[in-house]
């Protein structure tokens, strides 16, 4: 079991498969990209599967989410998914992706054992997409979403970040589109995980702003705390249901007290929180020949030291040195 001093138990593992990405989203990294990890620093496919197996078999992890960077850039992705889905006990499996390439891989991922996907899409307007991501790939993301739905990687969740002056006015249109296509839309407050350290709390589009905008067109009924559990998104029924919309208010309505996540970076570091400034190195233990029980002990120790919260409301908050592309969402 992965328990911390506040009694929280981590059962959800986020695995970053690569720090690379084929977009350059303005809230994540600079236009020229970043210094990527050297290949020897990355976990191999076998190392990833072994660590996930330890988490599932010895530490009580029940759900595994593959992230990046962009996980579809990982050459061995389908094989990793297949091997993880074959573990005992079998974890629930999901993937967070920007959707580029999903049109070609959705069927193979489903056949390998992937249960569902989260796809990032911040706008319905191709010109705004190009401004936000610095790439002209909007139609590829739309195609990826369609392919995921048709492959049965459901519920297909769409993650959206609203930015002042760019797409902040699109919330109602995005929700209408998601309802039409049977996607579950989730708005995410912009978080301080950009490589340029340009994030500012002032002026960000908040959960309150998003809900006020949505209510100009839709009736929203709160789903309630019992339904939410440890999920990061607060959810509302749209016009009485069955469709839902979620808001992940990491900044203005933090949910740290219910957090059940543990994170493994692409280079084998354990992070107890997206905003953590400390890591525990499991890659070195793996490569020095440590047995599974020793690696599990290191993991338990790391999680025992998890802080009460991210501390975004603390004036002394220090943004992590790693951008979101290197940590995994």
Q: Give the length of the chain.
A: 329
For 182-228, write each residue's pLDDT tens digit: 999 999 988 665 444 444 556 689 999 999 999 999 999 999 766 66
The counts of H helices and E strands in the chain are 11, 12
Tell whether residue 14 is among the known ligand binding residues.
yes
Tell whether residue 110 is among the known ligand binding residues.
no
Tell whether residue 259 is among the known ligand binding residues.
yes
Q: What is the pTM of this model?
A: 0.89
Amino acid 37: pLDDT: 81
Residue 67 φ then ψ, to 5°:
-135, -170
For 89-100, write each residue's pLDDT tens digit: 999 999 999 999
Cα Dmax for the chain:
59
Percent share of the chain, pLDDT over 70: 86
Tell whether residue 21 is among the known ligand binding residues.
yes
- Enumerate the domain spans of the chain: 2-326
Amino acid 274: pLDDT: 83
Tell whether residue 263 is among the known ligand binding residues.
yes
Tell whether residue 154 is among the known ligand binding residues.
no
Tell whether residue 324 is among the known ligand binding residues.
no
Tell whether residue 96 is among the known ligand binding residues.
yes
Residue 280 φ then ψ, to 5°:
-120, 125
Tell whether residue 271 is among the known ligand binding residues.
no
Tell whether residue 57 is among the known ligand binding residues.
no
Amino acid 196: pLDDT: 47
Closest CA to 98 of 63, 123, 128: 123
Tell whether residue 261 is among the known ligand binding residues.
yes
Helix (H) or strand (E) holding 55: helix 45-58
Tell whether residue 287 is among the known ligand binding residues.
no
| pLDDT higher than 70, residue 311 | no
Tell whether residue 307 is among the known ligand binding residues.
no
Mean pLDDT of the chain: 89
Tell whether residue 69 is among the known ligand binding residues.
yes
Worst-scoring range by mean pLDDT, 19-33, 110-124, 234-248?
19-33
CATH number of this structure's domain 2-326: 3.20.20.70
């Amino acid at each position: 079991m992965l328990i911390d001093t506040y009694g929280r138990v981590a059962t959800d593992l986020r695995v970053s498969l690569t720090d690379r990405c084929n977009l350059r989203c303005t809230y994540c990294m600079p236009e020229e990209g970043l210094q990527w990890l050297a290949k020897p620093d990355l976990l191999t496919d076998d190392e990833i599967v072994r660590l996930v197996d330890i988490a599932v078999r010895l530490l009580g992890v029940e759900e595994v989410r593959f992230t990046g960077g962009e996980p579809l850039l990982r050459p061995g992705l389908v094989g990793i998914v297949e091997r993880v889905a074959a573990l005992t006990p079998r974890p629930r499996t999901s993937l967070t992706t920007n959707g580029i390439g999903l049109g070609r891989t959705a069927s193979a991922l489903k056949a390998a054992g992937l249960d569902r996907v989260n796809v990032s899409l911040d706008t319905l307007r191709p010109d705004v997409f190009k401004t936000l991501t610095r790439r002209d790939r909007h139609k590829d993301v739309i195609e990826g979403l369609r392919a995921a739905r048709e492959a049965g990687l459901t519920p297909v969740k769409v993650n959206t970040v609203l930015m002042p002056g760019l797409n902040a006015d699109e919330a109602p249109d995005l929700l209408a589109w998601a309802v039409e296509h049977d996607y579950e839309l989730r708005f995410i407050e912009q978080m301080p995980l950009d490589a340029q350290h340009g994030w500012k709390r002032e002026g960000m589009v908040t959960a309150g702003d998003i809900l006020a905008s949505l209510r100009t067109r839709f009736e929203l009924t709160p789903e309630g705390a019992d339904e939410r559990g440890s999920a990061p998104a607060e959810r509302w029924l749209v016009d009485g249901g069955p469709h839902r919309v979620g808001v992940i208010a990491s900044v203005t309505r933090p949910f740290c007290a219910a957090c059940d996540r543990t994170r493994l970076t692409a280079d084998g570091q354990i992070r107890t929180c997206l905003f953590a400034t400390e890591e525990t190195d499991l890659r070195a233990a793996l490569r020095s020949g440590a047995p599974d029980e020793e690696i599990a002990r290191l993991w338990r120790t790391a999680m025992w030291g998890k802080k009460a919260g991210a501390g975004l409301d603390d004036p002394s908050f220090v943004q992590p040195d790693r951008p979101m592309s290197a940590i995994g969402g």
